[in-house]
Amino acid sequence: MIAEYRKMWEARNWMKKNEPFLPTWQAYVGYRLDLFEKISRGATIESLVDEYGYEENLLRSWADTGVVLGHLKKEGDKLVPSKKMLRFFSRKSDDTVGELLTELFEMHMPALMNYPEMIQSNRKEKFNGDDFGKTVAATSALIEKRAFGHVAAEIDAQKPNWVLDIGCGTGGYLMKLAKKANPGTFVGVDISKDCIDEAREKASKQGLDEKVKFYYADINTWDVPNGLFDVVMMNNLLHYYSPDARESLFSRVAELVSKKGTVIVITPLYLEKGGLRFSAAFNSFMEAHENLYPLPRKEELIQDAAAAGFKLKSVKTVVREGSWYCMSFSKK
Ligand SMILES: C[S@@+](CC[C@H](N)C(=O)[O-])C[C@H]1O[C@@H](n2cnc3c(N)ncnc32)[C@H](O)[C@@H]1O
């Protein structure tokens, strides 16, 4: 009897542990179909079914869940979104964080759910960055917002003429730096043509073509267009390199940066205090892919950099609970 009661209690605990997932799911579905926006124009279940051909009972259940959670309310037959859900989960809102949930539900969860099969079959998935380009760009931009202050402080201290961002993506850091009226020239290199095309377009729209240059190339083989750089950044790049290849990456950077230069590395760190849970989950996602690699541990990173002739200057927190840090190195 006691054993059975214990079993029921344990099951109840696991059920309760999963309950906090419900608001995330409700928000994700609302963002995915832009339902918060659609109901903001005054809609009922029936009018949504008529207009978009939605399955009525599924929609009703989603709406009922939203009411329970306070994400929406009912005024008669009409559904009304809360101000918060409309602000953060309407696709057209400047403040939307919906892509974060898209990343969770469409990239991370499927990979984590395939773990049993992958463990048994010794088969990993292949990450196709192009499928989730917009999602990854949006979530990276959130990190960029938090990390930019640290980068700007390094640049202010260094007053560089020639700055390189390896794996620059769509060039957010470089363009922000260029706009801050820094005197230097800012160079981005990325192996993704889509990213470089978008970065060039953005730079051109903002009149930054002269100050910011983008190159579509692999950093390992890139033919550097000019002399040594004063600052080299590698932001969220290390999980594209196997742990064995990271020392060579730093050696490559050592060839590109001047004697008094600075190397800035923004990255999640594995199992760093404060970010244990997030980094464990994020690392599991990396491990599920044959072309992504485990997150670096802080000590490993310092060792790889040291082997290539760099010493650690500073470690600044970007998102503590996300285990995200901004580290800077100088030549020994
Ligand atoms: C996660 S994104 C980070 C983008 C940006 N640095 C940021 O922090 O927002 C990593 C970028 O590194 C690029 N990348 C990966 N390997 C590379 C290589 N060998 N040479 C140049 N870029 C590379 C990818 O194409 C991708 O755009």
62 with 157, same domain: the answer is no
Residue 213's domain is classified under what CATH number?
Answer: 3.40.50.150
167 with 78, same domain: the answer is no
Quote the strand ranges of the chain, DSSP E.
43-44, 72-75, 78-81, 162-166, 185-190, 212-216, 229-235, 257-268, 310-319, 324-331
Residue 90's domain is classified under what CATH number?
Answer: 1.10.10.10
Predicted confidence at residue 214, as pLDDT, reads 97
Q: Of 69, 96, 123, which residue sits at a domain end?
A: 96
171 with 310, same domain: the answer is yes
151 with 293, same domain: the answer is yes
DSSP string, 174-236: HHHHHHTT-SSEEEEEES-HHHHHHHHHHHHHTT-TTTEEEEES-TTT---SSS-EEEEEEES
Range of the domain at 223: 136-331
Q: Nearest 10 degrees: CA dihedral of 243, 246, 248, 253?
A: 180
295 with 153, same domain: the answer is yes
86 with 197, same domain: the answer is no
Q: Note whether residue 10 is domain-resident.
A: yes
C-beta of residue 189 within 8 angstroms of C-beta of residue 217: yes
Q: Note whether residue 152 is domain-resident.
A: yes
Beta strands at 78-81 and 162-166: parallel, antiparallel or unpaired:
unpaired
17 with 152, same domain: the answer is no
Q: What is the distance, to the nearest Å, from the Cα of residue 65 to the centroid of all Cα atoms in its chain?
A: 28
Q: What is the distance, to the nearest Å, from the Cα of residue 143 to the centroid of all Cα atoms in its chain?
A: 7
Ligand 1 within 6 A of CB of 220: yes
Q: Note whether residue 189 is domain-resident.
A: yes
- Gap from CA of 89 to ligand 1 centroid (Å): 27
Ligand 1 within 6 A of CB of 135: no
87 with 201, same domain: the answer is no
Ligand 1 within 6 A of CB of 140: yes
Q: Note whether residue 130 is domain-resident.
A: no
155 with 251, same domain: the answer is yes
Q: Of 96, 118, 153, which residue sits at a domain end?
A: 96
Residues 204-224, buried b or exposed e (16+ Cβ, 10 A)?
eeeebeebbbbbbeebeebee
User: Could you give the number of structural domains in the chain?
Assistant: 2
26 with 147, same domain: the answer is no
Q: Note whether residue 288 is domain-resident.
A: yes
CA–CA separation, 60 vs 43, rounded Å? 12
C-beta of residue 79 within 8 angstroms of C-beta of residue 63: yes
Predicted confidence at residue 194, as pLDDT, reads 86
Q: Note whether residue 109 is domain-resident.
A: no
Per-residue pLDDT of the chain (332 residues; tens, 9 = 90+): 789 999 999 999 999 999 999 999 999 999 999 999 999 999 999 999 999 999 999 999 999 999 999 999 999 999 999 999 999 999 999 999 999 999 999 999 999 999 999 999 999 999 987 788 778 878 888 999 999 999 999 999 989 999 999 999 999 999 999 998 778 899 999 998 988 999 999 999 999 999 999 999 999 999 988 889 999 999 999 999 999 999 999 999 999 999 999 999 999 999 999 999 999 999 999 999 999 999 999 999 999 999 999 999 999 999 999 999 999 999 99
Q: What is the distance, to the nearest Å, from the Cα of residue 220 to the centroid of all Cα atoms in its chain?
A: 23
- Gap from CA of 135 to ligand 1 centroid (Å): 14
